[in-house]
Structure 1
Amino acid sequence: MSTTATARHGQKLADMLMKIAALAAIVLSAFQIWQGMTAELAAPVFRPVHLSWILVLVFLTKPLIKESHSFPLYLAARCVDFALSAATIWATWHIIQFDYDDISFLLDGLKGPDQLAGLITIVALLEATRRSVGMVMVVIAAVFITYALFGDALPSGIASKGFELEELIRFHIFSTNGVYGAPLAIAAGVVFIFVLFGAFLQVTGAGQFFIDIAFAVAGKYRGGPAKASVIASAALGSISGSAIANTVTTGSLTIPMMKKLGYKPEQAAGIEAAASTGGQIMPPVMGAGAFVMAQFTGIPYSEILLVSIAPAILYFACTLLYVHLMACKLGLEGMDVKAGVREVLKNGWHFLAPLILVTALLMMSYSPELVGIAGCVAVLVSALCRKSSRVSLRQVLEGMKEGALMALPISVACATAGIVVGVVGQTGIGLQFTQFLLALSGGHLWSVLLLIGLAAVVLGMGLPVTAAYIVLSVMAVPALNDFGLPILTAHMIVFWLSQTSNVTPPIALAAFAGAGIANASPMRSAVQAFKLAQGFFLIPAMMAFSGLILGDGETLHFVIAIATTAALIIAFAGGIEGRLIHPLNKPFRLVLLALALIMLFMDDSVRLAALTAVIGVVIINSKVNQQKTEMSH
């Protein structure tokens, strides 16, 4: 067979399998909507079915080798994929048939077929994780599994009981503590529905509307495209569930405009990455992690959404400030805006209705799954309001397909993270890790925060943000609780720090994605993104040392925390960039950095004094430069 014929046969087989995968993805979305509306299937059935469907889709869409290889080799690899899919389906069927009312398995252990089904599920999950998430997460899960099996052979300080393989499978597969635990429950339920919601926003044109409105609002001001990028990313990033996807989506439009206006390529990439990553902490949806937080803490999502508003606004204010200072230093102006806010709203106001509906229903504490489904319906209904936004059945099916495919890495990562969470609970290693953190920190809260931040960056190099948050929260939150931080504050700090890997060198995936669009150096783009995303480090610190997370009876403390955090951001940005309203000399820069440290670590009375000093520096900076201007004339 000629090389051309071989390639043609390989491509034909690949195309056929992608069509099968597309159909399976559409049916999966329909199944998820049905389950969300009816809750017909119990957790021991629904979660295995969902994961099995996800794994098969991964094997179909991410083959062992690509069709560019020789056809016999590609066909053999595809046979492996089919075998994995068949084995996964058989194992899942066996698992959902398991009789949990018969407690004999607790006394005598699992039977051979049960153990085989559990083992196949774990192996298939790890292989799907390798293909869709990366090898790092597989290694982390494998390390935890090894620890559970052979922990008794380790030194006493870190040793565990050491479990048999049968005990491990029973705990992680035939219970809701491991693979089918809380992380997968969230991914299979509310997260999938909201990813589908985001996909519908894209196919109906709502995503483009949010970009257009951002340009209409901010485009005419100094550094307009960059500021529009921040605003658009705040709106879209909350819904997309992925900082990288948001960077690519909005960045394909905003990065070329920023470069054209005069921003350096690495600055344009860094701005987009920092803004897109911030979308994950912006209400009302906040990616996937906030729903996991609600499950872990037992706190209603509406309350998490409410306390997240102020910190999120402060983060984007921080990013906008850096963008503005950059534009001033480069001498950039705004851009010509073709359509004003009124015109953009006139053509796309109906796209605001789904977001308003979703926010209102979440605040009213309705079931997040039902809220997500209502949002999906509202998007499609609102699209009918204008001829230009009406979608065909084909586009609706395309949205269902894309939504399911975007959910693949999320569900796989959460299921694998469930192994880590399960091992922590099964072995008690979490308590030992907490003691290790406390001992290494010397009893100082700031050093624990630094260690958690470093761990978040390291974990984030190989894990998706949600998985990194899950792994880090079960290990690090108890240490923060030991310092007296409330459970919600501790989780919020870990959640924010888990986002940092997208913008922190040496591996900053969102910045690297932006660099690809900007044709810039990935590492220089990561450095710029790190600088622009300082809020991810400053704001969690203020959560720990001030009342930035609103609590009962702490309104005044909360107001002071917001004001001083804003002043801290201004002082830090001025000190780093050497500019506020006008350029700053070195003494003033050092004063601002010192005031930032004071506001970070001192009590409210000292913070208020430092805030007053920052205001004074801003006024002096304005007056001195104004006098210089008058003298020059």
Structure 2
Amino acid sequence: MSDKDTTATQLSAEELEDLVASTDTGGRQPSNKNVAKFMAAVALIWSLLQVWYSSPIPYVVGFGVFNSGEMRSIHLAIAVLLAFLAYPAGKSSPRRYVPALDWVFAILGFGCAFYLFVANTELIGTLTGQRLSDRPNNPNAVDIGVAIVGMLLLLEATRRALGPPLMVVAIVFIGYTFLGPYAPGILAWKGASFGAVAYHQWISTEGVFGIALGVSTDLVFLFVLFGALLEKAGAGNYFIKVAFSLMGHLRGGPAKAAVVASGMTGLISGSSIANVVTTGTFTIPMMKRVGFSREKAGAVEVASSVNGQIMPPVMGAAAFLMVEYVNIPYFEVVKHAFVPAIISYIALVYIVHLEAMKNGMEGLPRAGQPKPFKWAMLSFLMSVAIVLALASGVYWVVQFFNGLGSAELKLLAVAVVIGLEFLIYKGVFRNASEGTKEKIISVFALVICNLTIGAFGVSYLLDIIRSLAGPALTPWIVGVLLILAYVWLASRCAKEPDLEVDDPNQPVVQLPEPGPTIRSGLYFLLPVGVLIWCLMVERLSPSLSAFWAVAFMVFILLTQSHLFALFRGEGTAGKFKEGFDHLIDGLMTGARNMIGIGIATATAGVIVGAVSQTGVGSVLADLVELLSFGNIFMILLLTAILSLILGMGLPTTANYIVVSSLLAPVIVSLGQANGLIVPLIAVHLFVFYFGIMADVTPPVGLASFAAAAVSGGDPIRTGFVAFAYSLRTALLPFLFIFNTDLLLIDVTPVQGVFVFVMSTAAILLFTAGTQGYFLTKSRIWESLALILVAFTLFRPGFWMDMIVEPFDHQPPAKIFEAAEQMPEGGELRVIVDGLDEVGEPMTFTAIIKLGAPGKGADRLSDFGLDLLTQGDEIIIDNAMYDSPAQKAGFDFDQKISTVLVPVVQPAKEWMYIPALLLLGLVVLVQRRRRDAAGAAAVAA
């Protein structure tokens, strides 16, 4: 295909906007102004209502307080209404007006969803003598009729907004609910009546209005709205420009900048397709300009954009769903997801670097003196060393500061760290000459010290404010300080020129300087900082954290144009109206971005409801166990394949809900049966990681099609290349199932830093092995050696367990003696025989975590276990209610067959030595071959 022919497949800017709209917000744009205003007004009301619901204001004024059930009804009612108005029924359906039938569907769908709110009001209770909640499991004819119509319209809205696959899957599960008696073999069940299904799916909180829709209502909307407001304020373009100014001059620089820019925009964008088009229209042409093919340029953008969904703190909707499904705090979800997300992005940057090395690519020119790549690498390594040094001391610094009791001492500590920051700035930064290696290193040192010292300074400053002002005045004082910081940063940013949105079709002569580019939008970091601070430090609820971040963004949107004009000495007339228009536009955009998510979570609730009503989950567990032969690795592989298959048609959120509901408990139980204790969060992250491949996997990956539309390349080839680039993402879930250190489970801060460093090195070596290029083009044995080294760095315990058994198998009667000898906090493992819920024999491994030292029987009793000795048998007489023993799976009349006592092993880190020796051999061989090739090229 000629360039001319290929270029013809590229879409214009308007066509790309239409692609995003048709996928995320609905492709219909009515020409009738009244209809357009109505749709805009509904979207605006939806956003304002969600902000009101998440705010503390209703509780303060005592008016407009909605409970979660009421708000779910309103949420879905508006989502269905907008879905029928914004999404055409088919490709040939009109886009410039809303047909009468769509109006009928929209009004009926709104009414059916809103019925749950109305039917539970005091007014209805007075008129009919009974509210909906007063007749549990006893629906009347109206309830059943509303449920039937509502389900049908929800399925049609799903088809329009998300395509047929999710609708088809939901129909299959509904059909199974009714046709259970006719299902084959083990899938057969007694079936259910219309009334039972209607109540379970539509009126109760087990189906459509269940946990998934509740998460969309309570949490996801505010985060999507926050991203829309940030984008409307100009943060998206700022992140792209910063990434290019910092990395565009390196080998394959535009591709590396695309990865970083997509990671940053992924923090505020919940859509892979929107991320591809937003950053891709700028990055893909620049990647092509430095030597990337159309398909590879598109694939880099796809891989980096899709990975935005695994990047904390937002992670699309999945993080909030995990809070509900796994029943752990949001902070814990983010902590567990952090290391895999970061090293995945580092590996993608390295993939780009290897591609650039293979093809001899260069970066784009920058204004000013260029910096050699080796200096950049040196600065990176030095910054890592500084991070390690700081991190190792951070824990003790925190302990010291926390030991300071009075506000005066903490104020002194804050003054000390601010003085230290001044000394670093003056002594290291200013004394380093421009363009030297010392300058580069000092910049990294200053940034890291600023972040570390700034975090501690803010933490203890807030502590002082709380102790002096009290809890009532503290929020007001913090609000004033934030506004002052924003005004000060705006005054600094106003000295720099505005960042224009570049035309991607125009050649880039040189890259912008990093300093002015970074300084031009520093105030964008404040609302992001507020969100992260509220979530991670103050430990506020995600909903309240998002509210405060949104409230701050509203203030920024209303004032930024006015402040910039004021500080630049320009006229301020009309600037407030300009900001108000941007705010209204952002509120409407956020609501339209939520249509698909609201519909997806509701329809996924249909599938979850069918699973809970029919009990098909346990049947699938038996089926999967049969197919996997009880092997935990095989069950993981089958789960990954199922996620990829479903991912070809389901959006990430729906895919995660379906697969985690069906298979997460299966993986945990099979792991126990195989002696592997798999934390539930690890299983859910495993499912989620493969779910994000939904937008990559050919032949349906929508992000790949969007990238091909920008690059002019073949979408299927783009998808396959993107899938190859995403292999490092596919590797990580398997690893953190078997090595939970990657998820920072039960590790100290210092251990966490060590895990991060070793995991980063491992993922880079795995990337080099799979890409077939390290220092030079790799031979097959070198690639295999690199992958082996990577595996050893990731999971050194695998080899150590083969050398020294980790547990000593003792007879059950030894459990009391073993429990008495274990140290405080020690874990004793036992293999237990018993019966499952349906009376079938089962065997599983359980962990007994022991408390304070004492007699073995007492320590086991403190854990919640009452044991009965009958000869050589140890029988569980009781597992106390809500005790750790009951949560670990122990139950009455189970038998302990084996006691696994931990054995003192050599440190598993000893396995790093042979791995590093093998790595050294590969490096030596490849350096000789590379130097020989270079000498031959010079001689020629």
Give the alignment's TM-score, normalised by structure 1.
Answer: 0.92
| Distance in 2 separating the partners of 1:11 and 1:489 | 43
* 1:5 corresponds to: none
**Would the alpha carbon gap of residues 246 and 13 (structure 1) be closer, same or farther in structure 2, given more than 3 Å must change?**
closer
| C-alpha contact 1:55 1:125 (8 A) present in aligned 2 | yes
Alignment pair present for 1:395 and 2:606? no
Amino acid paired to 1:272: E
Superposition deviation, residue 597 in structure 1: 5.5
Query: Deviations along 1:259-285, whole A, 9 cap, x unmatched?
Result: 111110000000000000110001111
* 2:776 corresponds to: 582
| Distance in 2 separating the partners of 1:621 and 1:15 | 70
| C-alpha contact 1:29 1:403 (8 A) present in aligned 2 | yes
Q: 1:69-218 to 2 correspondence within 5 Å?
A: 78-99=99-120, 105-106=135-136, 109-218=138-247
| C-alpha contact 1:91 1:121 (8 A) present in aligned 2 | yes
Q: 1:370-409 to 2 correspondence within 5 Å?
A: 370-383=544-557, 384-385=559-560, 387=564, 391-409=578-596
Question: Which protein has the bigger strand share?
Answer: 2
Amino acid paired to 1:515: A
| C-alpha contact 1:571 1:614 (8 A) present in aligned 2 | no
Superposition deviation, residue 623 in structure 1: 3.6
Residue 24 of structure 1: which of 23, 29, 42 is its match?
42
Question: Secondary structure of the equivalent of 2:88?
Answer: coil
Percent of pairs identical after alignment? 32
Superposition deviation, residue 558 in structure 1: 5.7
| C-alpha contact 2:29 2:86 (8 A) present in aligned 1 | no
* 2:22 corresponds to: none
Query: Deviations along 1:287-306, whole A, 9 cap, x unmatched?
Result: 11111111111111111111
Single out whichever of 608-617 and 416-425 deviates more from structure 2: 608-617
Give the alignment's TM-score, normalised by structure 2.
Answer: 0.63
Q: How many residues align?
A: 619
Alignment pair present for 1:442 and 2:746? no
| Distance in 1 separating the partners of 2:773 and 2:690 | 27
Single out whichever of 580-589 and 383-392 deviates more from structure 2: 383-392
Superposition deviation, residue 104 in structure 1: 6.7
Is there any run of 5+ residues in structure 1 with no aligned partner, and where? 1-9
Alignment pair present for 1:528 and 2:528? no
Amino acid paired to 1:324: H
| Distance in 2 separating the partners of 1:460 and 1:169 | 28
**Would the alpha carbon gap of residues 611 and 559 (structure 1) be closer, same or farther in structure 2, given more than 3 Å must change?**
farther
| Distance in 2 separating the partners of 1:62 and 1:504 | 25
Alignment pair present for 1:616 and 2:920? yes
* 1:416 corresponds to: 603
| Distance in 2 separating the partners of 1:91 and 1:541 | 43
**Would the alpha carbon gap of residues 133 and 626 (structure 1) be closer, same or farther in structure 2, given more than 3 Å must change?**
closer
Question: Secondary structure of the equivalent of 1:64?
Answer: coil
Question: Which protein has the bigger helix share?
Answer: 1
Superposition deviation, residue 608 in structure 1: 2.5
| Distance in 2 separating the partners of 1:469 and 1:147 | 21
| Distance in 1 separating the partners of 2:139 and 2:588 | 38
| C-alpha contact 1:17 1:60 (8 A) present in aligned 2 | no
CA RMSD of aligned residues (A): 2.6
Alignment pair present for 1:344 and 2:517? yes
Residue 592 of structure 1: which of 769, 775, 786 is its match?
786
Superposition deviation, residue 394 in structure 1: 1.3
Single out whichever of 410-419 and 351-360 deviates more from structure 2: 351-360
**Would the alpha carbon gap of residues 592 and 11 (structure 1) be closer, same or farther in structure 2, given more than 3 Å must change?**
closer
Single out whichever of 614-623 and 369-378 deviates more from structure 2: 614-623
* 1:461 corresponds to: 648
Amino acid paired to 1:105: R
Alignment pair present for 1:487 and 2:680? yes
**Would the alpha carbon gap of residues 600 and 454 (structure 1) be closer, same or farther in structure 2, given more than 3 Å must change?**
farther
Q: 1:187-586 to 2 correspondence within 5 Å?
A: 187-337=216-366, 338-363=511-536, 364-383=538-557, 384-385=559-560, 387=564, 391-482=578-669, 483=671, 484-546=677-739, 547-553=741-747, 562-563=756-757, 565-586=759-780
| Distance in 2 separating the partners of 1:560 and 1:86 | 57
Query: Deviations along 1:392-416, whole A, 9 cap, x unmatched?
Result: 2111111111111111000000000
| Distance in 1 separating the partners of 2:792 and 2:324 | 36
| C-alpha contact 2:607 2:658 (8 A) present in aligned 1 | yes
* 1:64 corresponds to: 89
Is there any run of 5+ residues in structure 2 with no aligned partner, and where? 1-27, 60-64, 121-129, 367-510, 566-574, 672-676, 801-907
| Distance in 1 separating the partners of 2:922 and 2:33 | 62
| Distance in 2 separating the partners of 1:41 and 1:137 | 30
Amino acid paired to 2:110: I
| C-alpha contact 2:119 2:132 (8 A) present in aligned 1 | no
